Chain A
Amino acid sequence: MNSSSDRTHGPIVIESLSKYYNKFLALDNLSLRIEDNENIGLLGPNGAGKSTTLKILCGLLRPSSGAAYIDGINVLEKPEQALSRIGAVVETPEFYPFFTPKEILNYLGRLRGMQGDRLRRRIEEVIGLVGLKEWVTVKVEKFSRGMKQRLGVAQALLHDPPILILDEPALGLDPRGMVEFREIIEKVGKEKTVFFASHQLVEVAQICKTVAIIDHGRLLAYDDIAQLERKYQSLERAYLELTGGSL
């Protein structure tokens, strides 16, 4: 393996990523490497650059400089190839209101090359997994925010991708929904790489062993939660101290 492929090897590799929105620097030379089957929580205050990072990985934004790789594939150079490896929930997902979950999942599944019995069975599985069985033929226009979030998770899991990229995936879920969501991610996270952004430290601590903490677009810490807890006494204290807050 040459040095270039060594450098980009891994499910997700972020290399010196910078992103300007006009003059505002949202990402400042951010680098991160995520290993196989790791569940990584991306933590940071509002405006830290979490969503920008995930959107670049999903091909929704172009970085001002730097590169992002998914399974060694440059997202900017070969976006379709890179995106075929991921399932994503970015922001609060919105769906075409006049479609039912079944139709939406059929559409997205077919776009990813699924069809026939395989697609039908997989739709049943993921719909069951996110608890939308009774709503499968109801138009999305009648859905609450939490139900759309569940459908968002369902479409991310539909094609059984090796990598999940999730941006505040539990946002809008009721307490039962949050518990169910955590169970889903814990289950699928054993076989997949999960990279997810969240404000919820408790949620992250329950799902992930490792966190990346960023602020002002810069990586402040990337370590095991156990390590951070040893160093700062708790994950909460680590987060607050690193992001400039106080207890």
Chain B
Amino acid sequence: MSEFHKLRVVTRYEFLKHLRRKRLYIVLGVALVTEVVVLILVPVLMEGYPDNVVVMAALLSIGPSLAAFGGVFLAGDAIAGEFEGKTGYILFPNPVRRITLVVGKYLACCAAVTLLIVFVYAIVSISLFAIYGEVLLETAKSFGLCLLYAGSVLSVTFFFSSISKGAMGATVIALVFIIVISGVIDGILMMAGQPHWFMLSTNQDSIVLVYGGYELFMEGFMPGGMLPFEIETPDINLSILSMVIYMVAGFVLSAWISKRRQLG
């Protein structure tokens, strides 16, 4: 039996695990509620939807961003859970390479998050079409960036899952790293006028910034697009490079650590 066949089996059953668990639906629910809130509050607070479809598209990109970020909750226990929950005692004594198990788990997480993102982008597209009668090409670009961001979030979370004793710990560390540490450093670099394209939080912004600069996005909240200080909109290409690095490095490290990790 080839390792590729085993990989297909692992991916299939890991994906089935995601479908059976509540957290996939909770993340989906949060993303959908966010979209509904945007669709309801924007016309209420701004006396109608923005004239510019691009502004509304940018505002609706918050939901997909959240869906991609929700990958943390799917991946947090991917590796740590096998050790903490002792399910590894059943899974690991099978004639399957540890790397195959990690790749299968990663692909299953990617499939689950992609499902979420596709669903939320469908809502975005339907909403834009219903309100403005058009769907933007940039929405497809935003979709691609969102998938890439989800991949980098999953890899970073897999890394923390591979080094953590518990699933909850891995999830919390990943959240702290992505929101707090990355967010704070990003904010400081941004205000200091230094490059910050390599921070995950900036990379997340690229999902929205594909529609235009920060000013355009802020127009959704503050007509006129006034910002308290001048911010240079990061280069999308550099964000793509950054996300690819997070995705590859995080995954390679998690696979290497998982292979060496013992189940005592």
Contacts and interface: CB of A to CB of B under 8 A. Distances in A.
Nearest to B8: A110
A112 B90 CA distance: 13
Contact of A58 (B5, B86, B92, B96): B92
Interface in A40-85: 52, 55, 58-62, 79-81, 83-84
Interface residues of B, number: 25
Contacts of A104: 90
Contacts of A94: 85-87, 89-90
A98 B17 contact: yes
Nearest to A104: B90
Given A80-B97, A111-B6, A95 B87 contact: yes
A14 interface: no
B25 interface: no
Nearest to B21: A98
Contacts of B97: 80
Contacts of A146: none
Contacts of B96: 80, 111
B50 interface: no
Interface string B1-36: 100011001100100110011000000000000000
B78 to A, nearest CB: 12
Given A94-B87, A103-B16, A155-B90, A55 B21 contact: no
- Looking at A52, A60, A84, the one whose CB has the most chain B CB atoms below 10 A away is A60
Interface string B158-194: 0000000000000000000000000000000000000
A88 interface: yes
A86 B93 contact: yes
Nearest to B18: A98
Contacts of B95: 79-81, 83-84, 111-112
A60 B93 contact: yes
A90 B93 contact: yes
B87 A96 contact: yes
A155 B86 CA distance: 15
Contacts of B94: 83, 108, 111-112
Nearest to B96: A111
A130 to B, nearest CB: 14
Given A91-B86, A94-B86, A94-B87, A113 B93 contact: no
B262 interface: yes
A61 B260 CA distance: 10
Interface string A87-119: 010111111101100011001101111000000
B263 interface: yes
B21 A93 contact: no
A104 B89 CA distance: 13
A217 interface: no
A162 interface: no
Contacts of B5: 113
B48 interface: no
Given A61-B264, A93-B86, A103-B16, 11 more contacts: A52-B264, A55-B264, A59-B93, A60-B88, A60-B93, A60-B262, A81-B95, A107-B13, A110-B9, A111-B94, A152-B90
19 contacts: A55-B264, A59-B92, A59-B93, A60-B92, A60-B262, A61-B262, A80-B96, A88-B93, A91-B89, A93-B90, A94-B89, A94-B90, A99-B17, A99-B20, A108-B90, A108-B94, A112-B1, A112-B95, A113-B1
Interface of A: 21, 52, 55, 58-62, 79-81, 83-84, 86, 88, 90-96, 98-99, 103-104, 107-108, 110-113, 152, 155
Interface of B: 1, 5-6, 9-10, 13, 16-17, 20-21, 85-90, 92-97, 262-264
9 closest residue pairs by CB, A with B: A113-B1, A98-B20, A84-B95, A58-B93, A80-B95, A94-B86, A60-B263, A90-B89, A83-B95
